[in-house]
Amino acid sequence: MSLPNCPKCNSEYVYEDGLMLVCPECAYEWNPADSVEEEDGLVVLDSNGTRLADGDSVTIVKNLKVKGAPKDLKQGTRVKNIRLVEGDHNIDCKIDGFGAMKLKSEFVKKL
Ligand SMILES: [Zn+2]
């Protein structure tokens, strides 16, 4: 049986530790039975816990202050064609009247 590469750093030196798999390079541990990772390994959930994907459309679930913008982003604003990215603000998108920006997935809901 061959072990998968580390989903975080793609190391091939993963080893088994009981039920867990452990990566010696970035110290990431995971249970291979937990989930089947997508190719990019990026899991982004909306405010309802629904998994989001590139190209999804979402709505904003609360009014959000936008740095440098003259107005708030209103609850109910639709955002089309999102792109998932790594990090704290894990959705890359373009919003009419605001331009390109990043959102936190916890503040959106999948349409
Ligand atoms: Zn690793």
How close is the Cα of 102 to the center of ligand 1, in Å? 27
1-36: CATH topology is: N-terminal domain of TfIIb (2.20.25)
Q: Are 59 and 79 in contact (CB under 8 A)?
A: yes
pTM of the model: 0.62
- Would you place residue 35 in the very low, low, confident or very high pLDDT band (cuts 50, 70, 90)? low
* Architecture per CATH, 57-110: Roll (2.30)
pLDDT tens digit string along 51-68? 999 999 999 999 999 888
How close is the Cα of 65 to the center of ligand 1, in Å? 36
Q: Where are the domains of the chain?
A: 1-36, 57-110
